[in-house]
Amino acid sequence: MNQQPESNQTHFGYKTVDKDSKASMVAGVFHSVAAKYDLMNDLLSMGIHRIWKRFTIDCSGVRAGHRVLDLAGGTGDLAAKFSRLVGEKGQVVLADINDSMLKVGRDKLRDKGIVGNVEYVQANAECLPFPDNHFDLITIAFGLRNVTDKDKALASMFRVLKPGGRLLVLEFSKPEIEALSKAYDLYSFHVLPKVGQLVVGDAESYQYLAESIRMHPDQDTLKGMMETVGFEQVTYHNLTGGIVALHRGFKF
Amino acid sequence: MPAPQLLAGALELALNKVLSLDNASQQRLAPLCGKRMRVKLKELPWPLTFVFSSQIDLLMDDEQPVDCAMELSLTHLQEMQDPANISALIQDKKLSLNGDMHTAQSFAALLKELDIDWEEQLSRYTGDVFAHQSVQLAKSLHQRAKGHLQQLGQIIKDGALHEKQLAAHPLAVEDFSRDVNKLRADTARFEARLSQLEQLKASR
Ligand SMILES: C[S@@+](CC[C@H](N)C(=O)[O-])C[C@H]1O[C@@H](n2cnc3c(N)ncnc32)[C@H](O)[C@@H]1O
């Protein structure tokens, strides 16, 4: 179930679509939710996503002067914090494939007075427009799930990471307990699209969200994928019973 | 379970809130800008790392180097907030300090000016921490869940009043209400289970 089909087709949630059209369909999803994205995040995860993100930052080892890539960074939650943590001599690149999300992120960070050490780059995770060995840290939070060719994206991240640098992948995963898994399914397939309909007027995007979560590789599969492209000392940490997992890998 | 992140998030919010109420806060933060200070309180299982910029970020990170690290117990935190007391506390072995003394002094001065009742703030997290941890976390998540349900109801009500596009089909609302009710019932069951667990713990 976690394998991509061999042909030029891929998953869009449960639908199988042409690889070429997945990117634009994903774009459609995020265009349609961009403006209310943060509100929805809070509602749908009941605010817990903030704790997942804090945990990610605590595991990042980020220091003053570091160069950080927040990939699929969307509305910039992580980037805002990194900007303060790396300080004036450091640099944060907020990269996203979608210019609506980037724009919301840029406006939000500007409103918070965060300027100077943050750059905004529209980029596809599969072919990152940065030199080799460039970043001390790469984070991708709730983004890998949406990428068409995940292996290609992971390899691209490996390439732009400095030796000694680390990658953190925060993503929905497989709940550890069957009962939790069931309750969670109920929530994501029944409640989620309806809230989406009510608040954003778009049930389909949230139906996609629920489906894409289910189709995403489980903890050990993702760990293996990271190792295959070259990451070392790959470990993962389940959060909230495995609803979400944080994977960490190093390049040496 | 990331209970420490819950604590860090709450403290960070509180600290920055207090700072934002103070007109001179940027001035007070200036000598600390770019510095990192790690505080290990004897009553807490995790060290807190304060990172200073135009605000304060709190990390639960034990790994990275800092400008200054101090270790003390909560009961001496109040005394420490007078920079003049620092040497005496060190001599009495009530405070151990590693690193840049200036950072420690500016930090103490900042804490004093912020005037936060730390014992009160931290009381939920100290003491028999490990025994309480899961119950505390579950409780606060449960509170959050309840709060969000109310908030959600309000947002939907406001939204429906002010924004035409948000007015949902009556059937969808009915359906949604049913889900919310179910969630509420689940929450109530969870609550009952929780108090059962608490009783169990208390009786042991
Ligand atoms: C669920 S959002 C996560 C945003 C943010 N990281 C957070 O945690 O709140 C997923 C983001 O991934 C972006 N995305 C999807 N496919 C991508 C790709 N191939 N390359 C880069 N970003 C992509 C979307 O535009 C969207 O902003």
| pLDDT tens by residue, A2-20 | 444 446 777 777 667 777 7
A14 CB-near residues (< 8 Å, 6+ apart): A211, A214, A215
pLDDT of residue A5: 43
**Which phi and psi (to 5°) does residue A143 adopt?**
-120, -40
The token duo for B103 is 């950072």
Residue A85: partners with Cβ closer than 8 Å, 6 or more residues away: A57, A62, A63, A64, A66, B51, B57, B59
Tell me the three state secondary structure of residue A251: coil
Of residues B51, B152, B166, nearest to A85 (C-beta): B51
Considering only CB atoms, B172 lies closest to which of A85, A183, A197, namely: A197
pLDDT at B82: 84
pLDDT in tens, B91-118: 999 999 999 999 999 998 888 887 776 7
**How would you class A96 by CB atoms within 10 Å of its CB: exposed for 0-12, middle for 13-18, buried for 19 or more?**
buried
Tell me: pLDDT of B120 over 70.
Answer: no
CA angle A206, A211, A214 (to 5 degrees): 135
- Any ligand 1 atom below 6 A from CB of A76: no
Model confidence band, residue B119 (pLDDT cutoffs 50, 70, 90): low
Residues A85 and A138: their CA atoms lie apart, in Å, by 14
CB-CB contact of A203 with A197 (8 Å): yes
- What residue's CA is closest to ligand 1, atom 25? A98
User: Which pLDDT score, from 0 to 100, does residue A87 have?
Assistant: 94
A246, A172 contact by CB (below 8 A): no
Q: Residue B185 has what pLDDT?
A: 62
pLDDT of res. A4: 42
Residue A79 burial (C-beta neighbours within 10 Å; 0-12, 13-18, 19+): buried
Alpha carbon distances (Å) from B67 to A84, A166, B46, B48, B97: 16, 23, 18, 13, 11
Q: What is the pLDDT of residue B104?
A: 92
Q: Is A165 in the pocket of ligand 1 (CB under 6 A)?
A: no
Nearest to A30 by CA among A188, A200, A152: A200
Is A8 strand, coil or helix?
coil
| Residue B167, pLDDT score | 41
User: What distances in angstroms separate CA A222 from CA A72, A138, A209, A249, one per listed residue?
Assistant: 17, 16, 19, 11
| pLDDT for position B175 | 56
Q: Which residue has the tokens 């979400």?
A: A244
Supply the pTM of this predicted model: 0.76
pLDDT, one tens digit per residue, over B127-173 is: 544 334 444 554 555 555 455 445 544 544 444 334 333 344 445 55
**Average pLDDT of the segment spanning B62-70:** 91
Indicate if ligand 1 lies below 6 Å from the C-beta of A104: no
Q: Which residues of B touch A57 (CB under 8 A)?
A: 59
Residue A252 has a pLDDT of 95
Q: Which two tokens stand for residue A123?
A: 């980029």
Q: Return the pLDDT at B23.
A: 79
Q: Which of B27, B32, B92 is nearest to B68 (CA)?
A: B32
Phi and psi angles of residue A91, each rounded to the nearest 5 degrees, phi first: -145, 140
At residue B27 the predicted structure's pLDDT band, cuts being 50, 70 and 90, is confident
Please give the average per-residue pLDDT across B36-52, as a whole number.
91
3 state SS for chain B: CCHHHHHHHHHHHHHHHHHHCCCCHHHHHHHHCCCEEEEEECCCCCCEEEEECCCEEEECCCCCCCCEEEEECHHHHHHHCCHHHHHHHHHCCCEEEEECHHHHHHHHHHHHHHCCCHHHHHCCCCCCHHHHHHHHHHHHHHHHHHHHHHHHHHHHHHHHHHCHHHCCCHHHHHHHHHHHHHHHHHHHHHHHHHHHHHHHHHHC
Q: What is the pLDDT of residue A161?
A: 98
Q: Cβ contacts of residue A206 below 8 Å, gap of 6+?
A: A44, A192, A193, A195, A196, A197, A200
CB A25 within 8 A of CB A12: yes
Question: Ligand 1 centroid to A151 CA: how many Å?
Answer: 16
Residue B47 pLDDT greater than 80, yes or no: yes
Between these two residues, B42 and A230, which has the higher pLDDT value? A230
Please indicate whether, in this complex, the C-beta atoms of A84 and B57 are within 8 angstroms of each other: yes
Determine whether the interchain pair B144/A51 forms a contact, defined as Cβ–Cβ distance below 8 Å: no
- Spell out, as residue ranges, where chain A has pLDDT lower than 50: 1-6
User: To the nearest whole angstrom, how far is the Cα of A48 from the nearest Cα of chain B?
Assistant: 8
Q: Where are the beta strands (DSSP E) in chain A?
A: 9-12, 15-18, 67-71, 91-96, 118-122, 135-141, 161-172, 232-239, 244-250
